[in-house]
């Protein structure tokens, strides 16, 4: 009798201890750092560089990012091409960034500048959208309907 009673109590305990497992919110799922790296030269000369672009999403709905230049095969930052801060929203499998402050190089034909020499963008419609792919492990840029974007850029989650 004790075995049956114990089995019944154990079964009831198991049934009532199982709670519905809630899916993490989209903001918690996107939280982390995403990176895009390319190689090239925007300036005069033959030397090539790594161009690194990072975006960091926080679960509170804020996002920051920066674009910097390194020597190929090195992590040492030579200078910056851009940086931004803003907020984001997620709808389905699309994340939309509203850039509140965005800084960029105001000079053509160079590969980097000191961060403090970048220029604040004076734009009123400063929004970007990305498709969320592979269970939040990749973000692919979406070209606006009226834009000429070229090849989409793929940011891979690194943290």
pLDDT at 9: 59
Distances (CA, A) of 86 to 1, 2, 37, 112, 113: 65, 63, 22, 22, 22
How much is the mean pLDDT over the chain? 87
- 27 contact partners, CB below 8 Å, separation of at least 6: 57, 59, 60, 61, 90
CA angle 149, 93, 122 (to 5 degrees): 45
Once rounded to an integer, what is the mean pLDDT over residues 63-67?
Answer: 97
Question: How many separate helices (H) and strands (E) can be counted in the chain?
Answer: 2, 9
Q: Are 57 and 157 in contact (CB under 8 A)?
A: no
Of the pLDDT bands very low, low, confident and very high (cuts 50, 70, 90), residue 86 is: very high
Per-residue pLDDT averaged across 114-138, rounded? 90
Question: Over 90: is that where the pLDDT of 7 sits?
Answer: no
Structure tokens at 41: 């030269």
Please state the rounded mean pLDDT for residues 24-29.
Answer: 90
Residue position matching structure tokens 């000369």? 45
């Amino acid at each position: 009798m004790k075995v049956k009673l114990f089995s019944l109590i154990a079964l009831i305990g198991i049934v009532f201890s199982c709670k519905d497992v809630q899916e993490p919110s989209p903001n918690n799922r996107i939280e982390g750092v995403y990176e895009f790296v390319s190689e090239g030269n925007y300036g005069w000369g033959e030397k090539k560089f790594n161009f690194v672009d990072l975006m960091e999403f926080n679960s509170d709905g804020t996002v920051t990012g920066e674009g910097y230049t390194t020597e190929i095969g090195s992590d040492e930052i030579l200078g910056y091409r851009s940086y931004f801060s803003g907020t984001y929203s997620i709808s389905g499998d699309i994340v939309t960034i509203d850039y509140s402050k965005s800084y960029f190089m105001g000079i053509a034909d160079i590969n980097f500048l000191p961060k403090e020499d970048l220029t604040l963008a004076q734009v009123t419609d400063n929004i970007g959208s990305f498709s969320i792919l592979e269970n939040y492990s990749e973000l692919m840029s979406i070209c606006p309907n009226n834009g000429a974007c070229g090849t989409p850029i793929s940011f891979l989650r690194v943290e």
